[in-house]
Structure 1
């Protein structure tokens, strides 16, 4: 089988390359299934990794924070690595070192760009809301100029991205197959609880469909 080609040397999977995928369909599906991301960069010679929410618009991913944030200021125009991971199952094997996890992950490398144009910022924020809660943006109070000014948005192209996917049962060696130890998968399912309304809501306000139907982690990797 021909090994898929990575877009760059640093995005190429070094180990277990059979789990790697570089096509946009796989990468986009994982990004859209899990909004939580971790952004890594170096400041003053030391690594920093922060959790945030990411969303994709076209060929870029975006994340936002306060304009006063040290993280947003430092990551701007810097080399960053953004990672997104879903855990699908714990894999229990017949020996300790064969235990594993079924997962879907994406790593994106590149130079973060600050979105500074007000119209572009507003459109990026609209894209975030509509991706997560379709139809909600038009129901919200419009943003104020000050709110938009206080929000920093960074963007990263998906030109240097890779996915890695682990699936299947434990890969015990043949000599361990008769060991009397339970082996298999413990599936991990992301489930949503019952929506809890703000006590200050008017009692005649119905739960919108985008809140009642919200799900994440459900997009199939292939």
Structure 2
């Protein structure tokens, strides 16, 4: 496991024992995410916007309209990207020691455009497969016009850090006799019952990522 931050701005300062910098841990957190939050400066304003994301190898990908102001801004300046999962509510005997179990990743850097048609097709196919394994072979692929109107951006993961809490209550010894329940309430993202479109083929649960149906 990599214990050294790849840069000063990725070093976990608050509770550094929760920091993780190894690529496997970072990739695992990204791979169970559908949305990321991107923070960036635009003029005199600071913005933080959500967008769909996925990973291929050592890079995070997003997509959007070619004429989007967000797309151009991300190509012209550095940004930070955050992904977070809440895995449990940690209920302590004191208000102060309540917490949450979580997994998060923060990535710094500048996006680059994916312009080569074959690379863009491959990246967008990976996005479809991230959301629904096996679906790319079943649906109509993007047309040339659709590809031309879509921007695909790539951000290297060489400046990223993860932060994780995955344990129980940390009450003070003087609070252990307080007669109130304490422990962890697990939380997880889980797919609900599919709502089929009229005339659609039969849905199979394997058409969803394993982490959404397990």
Aligned 8 A contact 1:86 1:217 in 2: no
Work out whether 1:66 is the aligned partner of 2:65: yes
Measure how far apart 1:189 and its partner are: 2.2
Equivalent residue runs for 1:51-130 within 5 Å: 51-130=50-129
Cα pair distance change 1:3/1:113, threshold 3 Å? closer
Aligned 8 A contact 2:88 2:186 in 1: yes
Equivalent residue runs for 1:179-190 within 5 Å: 179-190=178-189
When the two structures are aligned, how many residues end up with a matched partner?
A: 214
Work out whether 1:171 is the aligned partner of 2:132: no
Cα pair distance change 1:32/1:3, threshold 3 Å? closer
Q: Secondary structure at the match of 2:146?
A: helix
How many angstroms apart in 2 are the aligned matches of 1:218 and 1:110?
A: 33
Mind listing any 5+ residue stretches in structure 1 that lack a counterpart? none
Measure how far apart 1:207 and its partner are: 1.9
How many angstroms apart in 1 are the aligned matches of 2:212 and 2:80?
A: 21
Equivalent residue runs for 1:125-144 within 5 Å: 125-144=124-143
Measure how far apart 1:208 and its partner are: 4.2
CA RMSD of aligned residues (A): 2.0
1:47 corresponds to: 46
Measure how far apart 1:44 and its partner are: 0.9
Mind listing any 5+ residue stretches in structure 2 that lack a counterpart? none
How many angstroms apart in 2 are the aligned matches of 1:132 and 1:172?
A: 40
How many angstroms apart in 1 are the aligned matches of 2:9 and 2:172?
A: 32
Q: Secondary structure at the match of 1:148?
A: helix
